[in-house]
Chain A
Amino acid sequence: MRRITSALMATLITTTGAFAEPVDDTLILNEETEMVMRTAAPEHLSEVMDEVMSGWLFRGTETRAMQSDDFDNPGMIFVEQAQEVWNVADGTEGKSCASCHNDMDSMAGVKATYPKWNEAAGEVRTLQMQVNDCRTERMGAEAWKYDSGVAINMEAALASVSRGMPVNVAIDGPAQSAWELGKELYYTRTGQLELSCANCHEDNYGMMIRADHLSQGQINGFPVYRLKNTKLNGSHSRFKGCIRDTRAETYSAGSPEFVALELYVASRGNGLSVEGPSIRN
């Protein structure tokens, strides 16, 4: 009897579950840089998963191919726009980003470590916050609105020069309290649907959510170029979209809650390659 039940159960599982397993594929960028798309989960995730996987592995063949060549990647159009902005002086000091940082290639590796603790400010900062700090404090320019076009393009440009480097955000030391807050938010159920990030992206990745594949919700590919809105999208805007979909009131982009969540989610992808600007649905 027991045997029959388990056989029946097995049938039920295979027929009722809609599986959308990640593909077995590797991204080689511009035929030279091999990207790490799956790797052993970081230490702090050892109890919940063995392997972390980029969202790229959960996308279709054509979408994956678009990301393999910079010419085919529409996100690079916005990167180019930001590279122009990089060299243009703005604000009362008459400085551009390039005045201090020279060529943008000098920023290689920066994106991989953000969000990051800023000792002088006594807070964890995302890359966009740091860019705005430069704008207001050094350039005498106005801060860019969080996740606005110009800000997200700059974040993508900074990500693009770090592509292929492993995400490596610090979660201990002074950043720990923000990380803990982010973790709490990740596991807190929100909205009328009472869903936490973990309910979809930890418990059910590889399954379908309506017509779409559920990924692990990694943010190593952010900012992402989404085919649905033909522009770059920031991780905070993505968080907002997800929380809204649980039918909850969301935090706003750039809020301390989302900064903490970004740090936590980024730390779940420690070891994966920086991919931004990546291509997703």
Chain B
Amino acid sequence: MNEICNTCKYNTASGLKKLGEKVTDYDYVVALAGNPNTGKSTVFNTLTGLRQHTGNWPGKTVATAMGSFSYLDKTFKLVDLPGTYSLLSTSEDEEIARDFILFGKPDVTIVVADAGRLERNLNLALQILEITDKAVLCLNLMDEAARHGVEVDDRTLARDLGIPVVPTTARSNKGMDNLLQTIYDLAENKIVTQPHRIKNVLGETATAIEKLSNKLTDLYPGLPNSRWIAMRLLEGDTSIITALKEGRLG
């Protein structure tokens, strides 16, 4: 974009200032999560102006990268999490991502999803929505999906998921203005979400989760992710047990 576009009031992205690695003073923390190879690092680079190495293979980002940007009157710290298919296992990358969303309590979590492979990508998105309700689905790689004849009705999707859905093509900077505005609105509590909760858990497991989850809310009123913590307790996740004992949750 040239100088005129950057100052035009009709360009909603004109409020964006890429601040690179400067992450000292910030108003909000934003996490970038998603399946491997969906373009998280590309979104990260587009927003921060940094040049995290991007590459077309799953598992490229193994550590969390940080950068920052400001939009309108607020400054955001952006954390690029390792790409994972799930948050249920014990591998290092999944633990990093899980712990950051759970304990780091980001103000907004961007779930980057591959529009052409949505079903598999939702697997992770649904888990994240059990942990945090301040999330936006960044429906990335729209160009590729279109090329492969896949169309996504983002409004229905947003209604079903209960969070904003923003179609983007981060590689060519499409839809990033909408994404920015949504991040801003979520952080400022201008958008209220009603995130989808996993419904089709089977038999006894579902009952056990309900039971534990209710007890947890009795003990810690206002705990936003009691169901998720119940699932982790049923898994025997020691880091969650320790965190509960140390009072770091709830």
Q: Please determine whether chains A and B interact with each other in the same assembly.
A: no
